[in-house]
Chain A
Amino acid sequence: MVAPKPSEITVRGCRVNLLRAGQGEPLLYLHGASGGGIWQPFHDKLAERFDVLAPEHPGWGKSDTPDWLDTIGDLAYFYLDFLKQMNLRRVHLVGLSVGGWIAAEIAVRSTERLKSLTLVSAAGLFVKGVPQVDTFLQSDEARLRDFFHDRTLADRLIGQVLSPQLADIALKNRFTTARLIWQPRGYNPHLHKWLHRIDVPTLLIWGASDMLLPPPFGQEYNRLIPGSRLVVLPECGHLPNIEKVDRFVDEIGGFAAGVAA
């Protein structure tokens, strides 16, 4: 695996860090609360089939934290500007967790530049009566454990010592996450009203053992997005891109191939 050289792109004065590699139709991958900035095996596998663009969101990692950043909706407008400036069309938009929420907010605003939408363990909706862990009241260790179905994956991450630079980035990511999703906790109470506007083929990927956003959240997106298809992966937690890499990539690849040209 060769990680692409990071590049920078400035959209209306906001500089973001961008990893881009691969050949094929464009795929914009929007990372979750823990951040992007690191080229991972799932990026690499997606890059065998797509031109993968993996930016770090404004407020995360090496990207700027702009003054205008107050809500997930602000990021949705940012990425609409981003797609326009990059002159990208027929984009496969994939978002995970908080990134999935951003992707949904983009798609209810405009699908003009999208060819398909994939939401993975996406935040953004409220589902009554479904218990969720409060990631803001957990220690780093407990949070990592709750990410995975397979706890040995968590143990490996818990053992890692972050470099000072990565520790700073982790803290920055956490600050921005809290800023954007603290209240209401991880959802936009108005989003459900507008999901019917999404008129591109939509795939929903969920881990059966997701403790942060359990499968009923996927079912709710499935109910509200016309024609969407929900795939629930067994023995998988909140991060199918890490825990079930091949299945994750195959689902997206197969789905994109099936979307009419």
Chain B
Amino acid sequence: MKFFNFHLMPYADMDLGEIDRNGSAWVTLSNRHYDPVKGAELYHRYLDEMEFADRLGFDGVVVNEHHQTAYGMMPIPGVLAGALARSVKRAKIAVLGRALPLVNNPLNIAEEYAMIDNLTRGRLIAGFVRGIGAEYHATGINPGDSHARFHEAHDMIIRAWTEPGPFEYAGKHYHVRYVNPWPTPYQKPHPPVWIPSQGSQETIEWAAKMKYVYCQTLSPIAQVARFFAMYRAAAKTLGYEAGPDRLAWSNSMYCAETDEKALREAKPHLEALNNKFLKMPVEMLLPPGYTSFESMKRISAAKLTASQKPRTAEDLIEAGVVIVGSPETCRARLAEYQKLAGFGTVLVKTQFGTLPAELTRKNMEMLATEVFPHFRQDQPKAAAE
């Protein structure tokens, strides 16, 4: 099994009461609450944690993209990937991902990724996402165009990386007279493509069709298992076997000396992530057209309201959204969940919500020394269907 250190880079100095008063940490939470002196400290602290992950033997470090939110300070993740390109010496650098539909010229992303891939001499993992619904409020891009723009942008980027330029691209949403980016990617034919999603069937089936690595975002493990089974089934229909190397589970793990201590240390910070930084009204999360009409019908308002209800750290542990405990507990849960869901990579948010630097480092160290080595010997097995 492979372990990546996934950082959300939250604005951890946020007064959480302000998030409650605003109703969300996204889009409408005034940036007068952002203090650049504290922000600068946090950026450096978080980048240090990424470099620490590299030294501890994590297989990769992960950044991602979100806009106008205290949830994460990474509107341009390539800046941070660039900052890490020379200081992270060994680990892969995964951007999971850039939100393709939000840009007006996808070549910007083809160029940015190619630069990082050159700088790291081929250690980039290229993530492509649509961005969550809030992004469409934040950027003004029409949510109804999200799918179509994603696919056009994806096609243009892959062609830009694999076909000699210049050539012309003419789609419905993108019209580019000269597709001819310099530089081209270091890895051939192009960097590995990973597709993070909240579990949309069309995305899972498309990722399987493209043979891209599918990453499941924070979800209960039973759901994760179902989505991964969906990927394997789609692969089978397409005539191939999808192994664990195609599937990555994005979670949070927190390891301490005892179960009781781990829960006590992690609890307020997990709850800050889940109940404050992730909080948003349905209208913000799912603008019209972001999902298909049929899936919007299936997601009844009642169900959504339920999913937006505050959850305790104990709820999150119980549902297998996160793993928290002693080294022994962490090992047991991870082995159990791996068997259930059949993933080959875990994208671990070792820092979450307001978790401070000392606890983050202690957590990373304990995971790297007491938990991960137990999963290095064997190749991960596919889930028992």
Contact = CB atoms under 8 A, between A and B. Distances in A.
Interface string B288-318: 1100010011000000000000000000000
B287 interface: yes
A168 B297 CA distance: 8
A194 interface: no
B283 A182 contact: no
Nearest to B281: A139
Given A137-B28, A171-B296, A171-B297, A179 B283 contact: no
A136 B142 contact: no
B98 interface: no
A107 B225 CA distance: 57
Nearest to A174: B288
A183 B283 contact: no
Contact of A175 (B136, B283, B284, B288): B288
Contacts of B282: 139
Contacts of A166: none
Interface string B256-300: 000000000000000000000000011110011100010011000
A185 B283 CA distance: 16
A177 interface: yes
B239 interface: no
B36 interface: no
Interface in B106-165: 136-137, 140-144
A178 B293 contact: no
Given A182-B143, A182-B144, A137 B284 contact: yes
Interface residues of B, number: 19
Interface string A7-25: 0000000000000000000
Given A137-B284, A182-B142, A175 B297 contact: no
A178 B141 CA distance: 11
A171 B282 CA distance: 14
A49 interface: no
A182 B293 contact: no
Interface string A92-116: 0000000000000000000000000
Contacts of A183: 140-142
B288 A137 contact: no
A137 B289 contact: no
Contact of A178 (B27, B28, B142, B281): B142
A145 interface: no
Contact of A179 (B28, B142, B284, B296): B142
Contacts, number: 47
A171 B290 CA distance: 13
B144 A137 contact: no
B289 A179 contact: yes
Given A137-B28, A183-B142, A178 B297 contact: no
Contacts of B281: 137, 139
Contacts of A178: 142-144, 287-289
Interface string A119-144: 00000000000000000111100000
A175 B144 contact: yes
B297 A136 contact: no
B175 to A, nearest CB: 15
Interface residues of A, number: 15
Most chain A CB neighbours (cut-off 10 Å) among B140, B281, B283, B296: B283
B130 to A, nearest CB: 15
A237 B136 CA distance: 28
Which DSSP category, helix, strand, loop or mixed, fits chain A's interface?
helix
Given A136-B287, A136-B288, A137-B137, A175 B142 contact: no
Contacts of B27: 137
Contacts of B137: 136-137
Given A136-B283, A136-B287, A137-B28, A172 B142 contact: no
Given A178-B288, A183-B141, A138 B293 contact: no
Nearest to A168: B297
Nearest to B296: A171
Contacts of B144: 175, 178-179, 182
Interface in A74-99: none
Contacts of A139: 281-283
Given A171-B296, A179-B289, A137 B283 contact: yes
Interface string B344-369: 00000000000000000000000000
B73 to A, nearest CB: 23
A183 B101 CA distance: 14
B140 A138 contact: no
B140 A175 contact: no
Contacts of B287: 136, 178, 182
Most chain B CB neighbours (cut-off 10 Å) among A171, A177, A182: A182
Interface string A166-206: 00100110110111001101000000000000000000000
Contacts of B142: 178-179, 182-183
Given A178-B142, A179-B144, A182-B143, A171 B293 contact: yes
Contacts of A137: 27-28, 137, 281, 283-284
Contacts of B296: 171, 175
Given A136-B283, A136-B288, A138-B283, A175 B293 contact: yes
Nearest to B301: A140
A169 B364 CA distance: 51
Interface string B325-355: 0000000000000000000000000000000
Contacts of A174: 288
6 contacts: A137-B283, A172-B293, A175-B144, A178-B142, A178-B288, A183-B142
Q: Which 7 A-B pairs have the closest CB atoms?
A: A178-B288, A179-B144, A182-B142, A183-B140, A175-B288, A174-B288, A178-B289
Given A182-B143, A183-B140, 7 more contacts: A136-B283, A139-B281, A171-B297, A175-B289, A175-B293, A179-B288, A182-B140
